[in-house]
Structures are given as structure tokens and as C-alpha cells.
Amino acid sequence: MHKSKKNKNFSPPFKQVGQPLIFDENVTRPTVQYTPTKTETFIYNSEKLDSFVQVDEFTYSAQPQVIHWINIFGVDNLNLIARLKDILNIDPLTLEDIVHLNQRPKIDEFSDYIYIIVKMLYLDSAVNEIKTEQISILWGKNFVISLQQREGDVFDPIRKQLRIPQSTLRNRSADFLVYSLLDTIIDYYFVILENLSDKIEDLDEKITLNPDQKTISTILNIKKQLIYFRKSITPLRETFRYFQQTDSPLINKETLKFFMSIHDHVFIAIDNLETLKDLLSGMYDNYLTSISNKMNEIMKVLTTIATIFIPLTFIAGIYGMNFNHMPELKWKFGYPLSLFSMAVISGIMILFFK
């Protein structure tokens, strides 16, 4: 078992007290039903590239000057995950973190590999919500293994670069592949931020023109997504500080500046997120103000109408009393004079309220 060389600023892997490790040698792993695990393998250097797909299996054989990228879709095949320990001598605690999802983003450094957890975010157009997926990255001298919860990711630009012999990715070491994976994940955060920004802009225009009951539902939905987004990426601010402190031999000096740029991008993403959050809060206040003004206009109209009818009702009430001695009731001009008086009073009050 490896002895980890973890930085004091990073928390140890999660494990419930008293719960045996699934990947301990003396523990029988439970048999579970799972969807067949797909593995995608790229074996490359500056001169050649081999790529293939396997099911419930992966291939690795250490070769000098050759990098292996193994992308595994699905982490519920425990026997397949256990092979990482057998082939690459991965610490059982690391394997525990891989299969126990909903971990916080973190970086753990061991004697001959680095383990990274990040959150990959994407937009689910079917329900119009942000979805998250835990990505685990095992990074050694000549291998990078990325493990995802399900098939589908944002790594297509990396796959395209690997198929170009002259690309920077093909001519760099494994640390540049790790940088590319992290950078692609972080870049997609900005795609989501842009999408949310467009929604907020459209919503602002709708609030200005014609706010309705659906508007508040939309505001609350976007606010919920922003909170979910913030919860997913904020821990990266501290996690990626690791690159400012590490002296790991797995990271070349010329690649370190690229990792530092990812750290800067995380800060920019969080700043943009806070800006959108402030805009949405202001928009919510504008919505309440708009609804309040709209209600005041309605109340003003109703009050005006009620005020106009008060003297008219008074006149009608006076002459609606059934007393015998009311001379106006028997006067032939009494009825038209009453209507004329009501019309004059109404006109005067309408002019007054204008």
C-alpha cells in the first residue's frame, strides 16, 4: 500500500467509521447488477496513435515514451475497478473514492500517482437543468485514467487533437493530457454561464415589458441552478491551489503554468457566477416592484371608480327613500334633474382625478 504525501490543506479520502473497505483484500465484494462498462483507450506518442474500445475490460502495459489514456464509462463494475489496484497498484482508499460518488473536488498525491476529483457539468436540454457528474482522474508517469459515472462527456476536442500528429497534445507528456482534460471541463463551465446569462437577459426584457406568474417560477429555477453551480465549482478554488504548492515529479515546469491558468479560470468562473447571482437578485426585486406598481395601478382605477360612485349612490339613496312628503318626487323635472346632477358630478370628479 502506498503512503500518501498529501498536502495539509487537502482532506483525506472519505470513509465511514466502522465500514470495511470494498477493495480490501480480505473483504468479499458484493455482487451487483450493472450496465456493461465501456472503456476507451488511446495509446500514443508523437509518432503513432492506437485507439480502441472494450467492454468490461481495459488494457494497459507500461511502455517507455508511450502514454496511455484510458477513459472508463461507469464505475459500478467493482471487479473492473479492482483491477486498477492489481495492475497499477492504486491505493484501496482511492478506489473507494472512485465508486463512492458525490465526493467533494480534491487532489490527493501519492508516491507514484496523483488522484483528482472534479465535477463535470452539462446542460440537460430535456429538463432544462444543470446536471453534474463526478470525474475521477488517476495520473501517473505514462498513464492517465479518467473514470466517469456514465457515457457522454465534453472531451471530444481532446479526442480530435490526439488524432492530429502535429498537435501539442501528441508531443507532450501525460501531465499535459491531464491539463487538457481539466481545462476542457472548466471551459464548459463558461458555456453554461453564457447560457444562464442569455436566459437572465431574456427574462429581464420580459419583466420590463410584461411580467406574469411564470416569470417568478423562471427566476426561482435559474436561482436554483446558480446555487447548484456554485456548490459544484467553489471547492475548486482551494483544490487547484495544490498546483501552487506541489513539487511532484509528475508535473513538468513548462506545464505548471498551464495548470496555474486553470486556477485563474476557476476564479473567473466564480466571479461571473456571483455577477449573475447579483443580477438575478436585482431582477427579482424589479419583478416585485413591477408587480407592486401594477397592483397599485389597478387599485387606483378601482378607487377612482368607487369614489365617483359615492356621490351618485348618495343621490340615488336620498331619492330612493319612500317618504310621502318629498316634493321632488312629484315634480316633472325631478328625474331628468337628478340624472343631470349625477352626470355633472361624475364629470367634475373625472376631471379632478385626471
Cβ-proximal residues to 165 (8 Å cutoff; 6+ apart), any chain: 46, 47, 49
Give the pLDDT of residue 162. 92
Q: Is 69 exposed, middle or buried (0-12, 13-18, 19+ CB in 10 A)?
A: buried
Among 283, 290, 285, CA closest to 210: 290
Question: What does pTM read for this prediction?
Answer: 0.75
Q: Which helix (H) or strand (E) holds 189?
A: helix 174-209
Which domains can be identified in the chain, with CATH numbers? Answer: 38-289 (3.30.460.20), 296-353 (1.20.58.340)
Give the pLDDT of residue 334. 74
Strand partners, 67: 44
Query: Could you list the pLDDT tens digit for every one of the 354 residues in the chain?
Result: 344 444 433 333 334 433 444 555 554 444 444 567 889 999 999 889 999 888 888 878 778 789 999 999 988 888 888 888 888 888 888 888 898 888 899 999 998 899 999 999 888 777 778 888 899 999 998 999 999 988 888 899 999 999 998 899 999 999 999 999 999 999 999 999 998 888 888 888 777 777 777 888 888 888 888 888 988 889 998 899 898 888 888 999 889 999 999 989 999 999 999 999 888 888 888 777 877 888 888 888 888 888 888 888 887 887 777 767 777 767 777 778 788 888 888 888 888 877
Burial 172-186 (b: 16+ CB within 10 A, else e): bbbbbbbbbbbbbbb
Using CA atoms, how far apart are residues 23 and 26, in angstroms rounded to an integer?
8
Strand partners, 108: 115
Give the pLDDT of residue 337. 79
